[in-house]
Structure 1
Amino acid sequence: MLTKEYIPLSDRQKAASFSWKYISMVLIVLIYGTSLLLSQVNSLYINHKTYDRREKEQSVLFKDEFQSSEETTNNLILETSTNNDKKPLTFKDVRNGTFYPEIKEIQWIQTPTSLTNDSGDYIVVENHNYYLKSLLDSEKNLSLYELGDTINYNDLNYSVEGVTFSNDLKLAVLTCNKRHNWRHSYFASYFIYDVESKNIEPIISTNEKENSNIALSIISPDSQKIAYILENNVYLKDVSNFENPKTTQITFDGSAQIFNGKPDWVYEEEVFESDTALWWSPDSSNLVILRSNDTEVPIFPIPYFVQQNPGNSSSYPIIDEIKYPKAGFQNPIVDILIYNVENDILKSLPDSDPFHNDSDIDNTDRLITEITWVGNDQVLIRVTNRESDILKIFIVSCPKSSDLELSSFVSRFEDGRGDKSWFEITHNTIHIPKSNERELDGYIDMIGVDGYDHLAYFSPPNASEPKVYLTNGEWEVVEGAAAFDYVNDKVYFISTEKSSIERHVYSVNLDGTSKKNITDITLESWFDVSFSKGARYLLLSYEGPNVPYQKLLDLYNESSEIFTDNKALKNILNEYDIPQINYGNITLDENLIINYKETLPLNFDPKKKYPLLFFVYGGPGSQLVQKSFAVSFSSVIAAELNAVVVTIDGRGTGFKGKKFRNIVRDNLGNYEVLDQISAAKYWISKGYIDTERTAIWGWSYGGYMTLKTLEYDEGNVFKYGMSVAPVTDWRFYDSVYTERYMHTPQNNLEGYENSKVHNVTNFKSSKRFLLMHGTGDDNVHFQNSLQFIDMLDIAGVENYDMYVFPDSDHSIRWHNAGLIVYDRLFTWLSRAFGGEFEQVYSVANYGGQYNGVIDGRYFMDLYG
């Protein structure tokens, strides 16, 4: 994805372990995907639409619990302080993590009775130790793991970087000595830890080298087995007897061309957005394995120059070869395998099955975008064509008998070709188990309702139409159903019902009645949630716009307790003068309403003239304007460079309905650019902007948007630009992301020509621009910037600066680059706003001889 690295989305999009984890959520959408860098997620304010009186009268659980009077007082963030005793915000303060909130994660434990008698058992890390606690039993506080960050095995030390416990809490898998692969994947040494005896054994005990090359391990729901991946093959380790485990190899054809249980590059980046491509059935009797055949996928080589110690690299670069399908080229051919544990049989769908003989989606072009068990013997397979405008849901039946074949049935068919629509990749389908009141299994899925994304309940799983539409309206559910309460038949979800730039938590009965807001919608808020396995308990994370906090809630008793309060951060903020942030919406041409975020300089005076910086991402379905907390890079620019920083979400971005989003189909880089320029003109009309000091910057898709905006604008509105890791030609980007929005080059040649950065002579009208890229970028290849520079050279365009980061990937973090990239952005922009680039170097072509002007001094080049 472009970066979801979640740039802060990019967006790719979800990042730096230290440096810019603290500057904002810029690296967070770097690492949505959506796909290119989503960029930093900043705090927001918006003039949201008036909501119906009936909504105000609905029951609000914990209304007085969510924000105390102290939490609702947001003067530190939303109002500029005039107290001279306060410290002004500096780049150094943001860089060193001064304003980074404490956010804890927990692992909810699923017990045999979780659905009907949820105990709220969870594991939390405190001082590097792992403790079992319970919301039902407040006295429970059992230490499960106290070995710290390092273990020793056979006289070798291993750094423990992850601990995952089985549901029965008898064992844990320790992930040690990770070695980065792609965005989400890595290789590591894996060990099994016996909680009672505290003994440790490697998953592969016979070969230390093999054990260090395991790509993935997943514990079965019944805690008896561990599936793991080695050299693209799937293995099963039976750990029911810790002292005498048994290992079974399930697949045997894994290679550089065949991926079993582990996604290839494009499926990891764009489809599953994870390193996992295998799924246990609820009762652990079956294991679904995605098989990818990359034999025909073209190879993209990436040279690495500085992998050794600085100044001590080899004479020749290391060449890494990635199976990377670019737009219009062959995708991996994907299929599913299902392994029955009891019978030790691996099955695939027969060649005659409808799955392999679909009239709309060819076997060589299909995308399998989601796999979800909807019972112990039925699995849902979500399939689209390569251009993502045909969607089919297959239900695969898995008979227990070894003599019976797998079979599939097409339960749903949706066609987006008629309205220039596409189907985004989602992973939010949840299984609704049968009960005494429900004789059949079912599932909840996202479905379009009058142009907005909503929830629908399907039962039985092979139903072609919803049994019930659970939500509707001119707003959207975010990321599907969050949880299902089996006891009360209640569905929980997050939505934009109050405002497209806020997130609130709601519930609705499984029959579609009694929708209630769980969080207080009278307060501006951005919430995230993590539910216990029975959905009685909730870890509620308030993420802004004020200082974040977390609470543990009992939804049955309507009680809560503080989990993190970030009082230390509140005290720190009291010491600083923080730039004021405004949120709202503006109306552009044709009554187009867009959301914005504006960060103002310290001691802002509307009678003065300030530089203007637009921070942009703009990728399809993305969102930067969010009411979440951040003292970010935008805050630094406002405070230290005395500039106004603006972010807008123009057409093509998400959470405002299909009509707003889908207008960019087949024509990327057009409407998005027009909206950036129109919004900039609006800010200039306010009277406090210096029209000669205007700039735009972005990363990944935002880098692309920066260049396309400068290209179209020709220096009329934006005088400067900073583009990081940009796509410059969509033929160079991966097929899954690109074709979802552009179709294939073969079917949309004109669109690809128009969407690439191509009118390079237009850049001569800009005062100056900056281009930065990592040479080891496996996502947006360095090829994009090199081709663009070559076009600039041919056209004689020289009013730009270039900075290259050796071996850095899309997030730009290799060898201290995570710090330097923002240093370069900051100092370059400081020079631009300081007037250093006012006298632009220009080139006049005189048939092999040209004259140039630099700082007012004339010279003749070497050809003169």
Structure 2
Amino acid sequence: MDYETGKRRDLENESLLGSRNGKRGWFPSRLAVWTLFVWGSVVFMKTLNATVNSEHSLSPKRWPWGFKVNKPELNRVSFENVRNATFVPQLHNVQWIGGSHSHDDMGLFLKEEGEAYVVKSVADEKYSRALLSAKTFVYDGYNYSIDYLQASPDLKQVLVRSNTTKNWRHSTFGSYFLINPTSDSVHLLGHEIAKVQWSPNSKDLAFVHANDLYIYSSQSYTISKRITDDGSAQVFNGKPDWVYEEEVFEGDSAMWWSPQGDYLAFLKINETEVFEFPIPYFSQHEDDVYPEVRSIKYPKSGSPNPIANLMIYTLDTQDLSGVKTGHNMTLITEVVWVGDAQILCKASDRSSDVLSVILADAKSPGLSQVPRVESSEDGWWEITYHTSYVGQDSAKGREEDGYVDLIPVDGYNHLAYYSPANTTEPVILTNGTWEVVNGPAAIDLETNDVYFVATKKSSTERHIYKVNLKDPLNVKEISDTTIDGYFSVSFSSGARFALVSYLGPEVPYQKIIDLKPESTAASEGIAGKTLFYLEENKSLKNRLKGYAVPHRIFKEIHLGEDKDGNAIIANSYEILPIGFNPELKNHYPVFFYAYGGPNSQQVAKTFSVGFNEVVATQLNAIVVVVDGRGTGFKGKDFRSLVRDNLGDAEAQDQISAAKLYADKPFVDAEKISLFGWSYGGYLTLKTLEKDAGQTFKYGMSVAPVTDWRLYDSVYTERYMHTPQENKAGYAKAKVHNATALGGANRFLLMHGSGDDNVHFQNSLRFLDLLDLAGVENYDMHVFPDSDHSIRYHNANNIVYDKLLGWAGQAFEGKFLK
């Protein structure tokens, strides 16, 4: 359910809330054409954070973009220029393709040139290989446009998708075709296909149609094998059901080819026992007088989960076998091939207390071993996706197959090398009071270097590092840690080249680097040699010179002591309005924004100008964001204390922060508000409930969970166990004290009626609670048929207009009792 991630969610309202993604000399002249080097579309960054890490002062502040905030001719930030992408940086995705070892890594990538799709090389600027000459094609007399394209590993054929329709958050359906550029032939795999994946052998493709799994031959252009025949509305083969897509894989695939393409592993998910949840839609068609009801299999906490089984199909023999995961290991969370015929499966109990690592040999169906069974030790096992296979190579000092995993080391997430794959004693590659983010980003199999992104400098920053399998704990910097920075990185197939994206706190840029140059310019501040800048965002920097953008001041905030007498220190940032004057008395309202979900993060040094800046500018308010206890990247002790008790410590930390601001002489303590969406909407209501109007006078809650019994099992039970096991915890975590909520001056509740994630049921049950208690100090707005992102029929504009306008009325005293 998380927007951020911690739980890795795409921020559904990034257009106004700002940018997200985790974050960080300039302008060499080599080949201006390379600035067009891009496969994919411009994307928004994904975090609610950015700008400068410094305390405010009374003197005029020079901004990182080179202008002073007190120049009277500068424009103010408004909804209009946020909505028209005035402040959105251009960022590009690169589809790397090619060899798997750095010695044959030419840095091949797929690029659009006009209407054509062309393979280019970072290493050889003269290299060019056209795959397709147009973005449309003709099949059976009909014209089709290309929505998605993926070349075969040998680059001889191209898989394309057209007629794409959206399913759930990550999944789509479409018509898939195979195009042979040499013969200029087009072959239809099928319509209404959910997912297609190339085999590493370039000969076979696996695809899912009507929840059954098929093998298609790229040589005969026919279906060579139907692997399953039990696919239905209840049984999913190779494709996740709703809860596995949303909460486990966060993607649309549940199949995995072996390294040589000899085997295909996939999940068979049976949700026969999962209860259905009906969602009525009222505004789909003008002529409909009865609502359209769509039912979704949705396991609420404590109710039956789907049953998932890992299957392995052998292409030569056409045998199909299952992998045993253990009686209580009901969630399959990650699958990785760790050899040509050896597969690793991570499984956990439904409450993520115990993690089992299972190894199975595809050559010996039915046989498996469990080298690792690990307890979460009063925390929980977060799902990971980046466990990476390290193949045997005696010449490189690797005597057996193994893998690099992300594991807790003294309460912080770090890299560990397991070799052989069935060992129980790994080599710890990194350690310290900081965390590796997600896992290994790439492994250079020629040098044994493991690249990763981590919080080693600061939990609010992301820098790039490497460590060698043969030199553990000797961590070396790749990005320049002498500057504040939030970086992300993607690597070419052999990990020689990398796309480095600096995402903040200043204006983002992207560059391509060679990690194995003959010489490196030390002045560049980053390991490797910069080949060229893919994006400099010069236009954005120029536009910013015309605006007075309120900047973000990052700091650690002291929120008192916990029950053991330890200081509670949280990350936070504040945005001061333009022209802020600390000499004024009882003047400034304070607008808190919170998300606060387990293992999430909002306070990160990314660049963005969004809704929070609009609030600071248009309402002349101080905006504050605090990542209290339960949030991520500050170690297990900080996040795991919310286990079985959601909404308690998180709410207390928001109240403690609000009290600190209420005591500031320039703050009007009667005008302190809190806004949150999804988990943040829940946290808003829990905070108002706990505070009972003492500190927070106003609240704005969008699409909130109000009772954790109503949310999905996989997410909820990870943090709360089941309602049967933790009845008192669920009762306490529920928004239940309507009388206390009545202590606030007023609050606003908004929800989409078509929300398939946090069901509208949550808000309706909450409204019933208010009715029973006679509480009336609230406003309500429902968005017909909108899902969790609230975008249907202009809803996204309206929801933010409502938030800004309602907060403005609150600060003007319109809602005083």
- Look up the match of 2:666: 688
Please state whether the residue corresponding to 2:474 is helix, strand or coil.
Answer: coil
Measured in 2, the distance between the counterparts of 1:571 and 1:445 equals: 43
Please state whether the residue corresponding to 2:652 is helix, strand or coil.
Answer: helix
- Measured at CA, do residues 698 and 188 of structure 1 come closer, stay the same or move farther in structure 2, by a change above 3 Å? same
- Look up the match of 2:745: 767
Matches within 5 A, 1:356-755: 358=326, 361-362=327-328, 366-399=330-363, 404-416=364-376, 419-436=377-394, 437-466=397-426, 468-511=427-470, 512=472, 514-557=474-517, 558-560=528-530, 561-590=532-561, 591-608=567-584, 609-755=587-733
- Measured at CA, do residues 472 and 673 of structure 1 come closer, stay the same or move farther in structure 2, by a change above 3 Å? same
- Look up the match of 2:250: 273
- CA apart distance, 1:142: 3.2
Deviations 1:582-620 (A, max 9, x none): 001011212211100111111111123211100000000
- Look up the match of 2:49: 42
- Is the Cα–Cα contact under 8 Å of residues 389 and 415 in structure 1 kept in the other structure? yes
Measured in 2, the distance between the counterparts of 1:781 and 1:253 equals: 30
- Look up the match of 2:76: 88
- Measured at CA, do residues 819 and 810 of structure 1 come closer, stay the same or move farther in structure 2, by a change above 3 Å? same
- Look up the match of 2:311: 337
- Look up the match of 1:69: none
TM-score when normalising by structure 2: 0.91
Measured in 2, the distance between the counterparts of 1:326 and 1:215 equals: 25
Q: Which amino acid letter does the alignment assign opposite residue 542 of structure 2?
A: N
- Look up the match of 1:21: 15
Deviations 1:630-669 (A, max 9, x none): 0011011111111111101000000000000100000000
Matches within 5 A, 1:112-261: 114-127=101-114, 129-148=116-135, 150-204=136-190, 211=191, 213-241=192-220, 244-261=221-238
Q: Which amino acid letter does the alignment assign opposite residue 104 of structure 1?
A: H
Measured in 1, the distance between the counterparts of 2:752 and 2:440 equals: 38
- CA apart distance, 1:20: 4.4
Q: Which amino acid letter does the alignment assign opposite residue 458 of structure 2?
A: S
Measured in 2, the distance between the counterparts of 1:240 and 1:753 equals: 60
Measured in 2, the distance between the counterparts of 1:23 and 1:382 equals: 35
- CA apart distance, 1:503: 0.2
- Is the Cα–Cα contact under 8 Å of residues 239 and 246 in structure 1 kept in the other structure? no
1:789 pairs with 754, 757, 767, which one? 767
- CA apart distance, 1:11: 6.8
- Look up the match of 2:522: none
Q: Which amino acid letter does the alignment assign opposite residue 644 of structure 1?
A: I
Aligned residues: 770
- CA apart distance, 1:438: 1.7
Deviations 1:350-385 (A, max 9, x none): xxxxx35x3xx42xx610000000011000000100
Please state whether the residue corresponding to 1:825 is helix, strand or coil.
Answer: helix
Bigger drift between 643-652 and 509-518 goes to: 509-518
Bigger drift between 274-283 and 434-443 goes to: 434-443
- Is the Cα–Cα contact under 8 Å of residues 431 and 473 in structure 2 kept in the other structure? no
- Is the Cα–Cα contact under 8 Å of residues 20 and 95 in structure 1 kept in the other structure? no
- CA apart distance, 1:837: 1.4
Bigger drift between 156-165 and 535-544 goes to: 156-165
Please state whether the residue corresponding to 1:122 is helix, strand or coil.
Answer: strand
- Is the Cα–Cα contact under 8 Å of residues 701 and 748 in structure 2 kept in the other structure? yes
Please state whether the residue corresponding to 1:638 is helix, strand or coil.
Answer: helix
Q: Which amino acid letter does the alignment assign opposite residue 14 of structure 1?
A: D
- CA apart distance, 1:171: 1.7
Deviations 1:22-80 (A, max 9, x none): 65137999xxxxxxxx98421155589xxxxxxxxxxxxxxxxxxxxxxxx98156986
Please provide the CA RMSD for this pair.
2.1
Please state whether the residue corresponding to 1:508 is helix, strand or coil.
Answer: strand
Q: Which amino acid letter does the alignment assign opposite residue 803 of structure 2?
A: L
- CA apart distance, 1:389: 0.6
Please state whether the residue corresponding to 2:555 is helix, strand or coil.
Answer: strand
- CA apart distance, 1:197: 3.7
Please state whether the residue corresponding to 1:288 is helix, strand or coil.
Answer: strand
Deviations 1:413-465 (A, max 9, x none): 1112xx42110011110000111222210000011111111000001111112
Please state whether the residue corresponding to 1:494 is helix, strand or coil.
Answer: strand
Measured in 2, the distance between the counterparts of 1:444 and 1:451 equals: 18
- Is the Cα–Cα contact under 8 Å of residues 391 and 414 in structure 1 kept in the other structure? yes
Q: Which amino acid letter does the alignment assign opposite residue 222 of structure 1?
A: N
Q: Which amino acid letter does the alignment assign opposite residue 146 of structure 2?
A: V
Please state whether the residue corresponding to 1:831 is helix, strand or coil.
Answer: helix
Measured in 1, the distance between the counterparts of 2:783 and 2:6 equals: 18
- Is the Cα–Cα contact under 8 Å of residues 387 and 740 in structure 1 kept in the other structure? yes
- CA apart distance, 1:715: 1.0
Percent identity (aligned): 48
- Is the Cα–Cα contact under 8 Å of residues 201 and 260 in structure 2 kept in the other structure? yes
Measured in 2, the distance between the counterparts of 1:464 and 1:728 equals: 42
Question: Which segments of 5 or more consecutive residues in structure 2 lack a partner in the other structure?
Answer: 24-44, 56-60, 518-527, 562-566
Matches within 5 A, 1:798-813: 798-813=776-791
- Measured at CA, do residues 639 and 407 of structure 1 come closer, stay the same or move farther in structure 2, by a change above 3 Å? same
Measured in 1, the distance between the counterparts of 2:83 and 2:6 equals: 19
Please state whether the residue corresponding to 2:372 is helix, strand or coil.
Answer: strand
Q: Which amino acid letter does the alignment assign opposite residue 550 of structure 2?
A: P
- Is the Cα–Cα contact under 8 Å of residues 16 and 611 in structure 2 kept in the other structure? no
- Measured at CA, do residues 313 and 23 of structure 1 come closer, stay the same or move farther in structure 2, by a change above 3 Å? farther
Deviations 1:100-147 (A, max 9, x none): 111111111133x63542111111335564331111112123333332
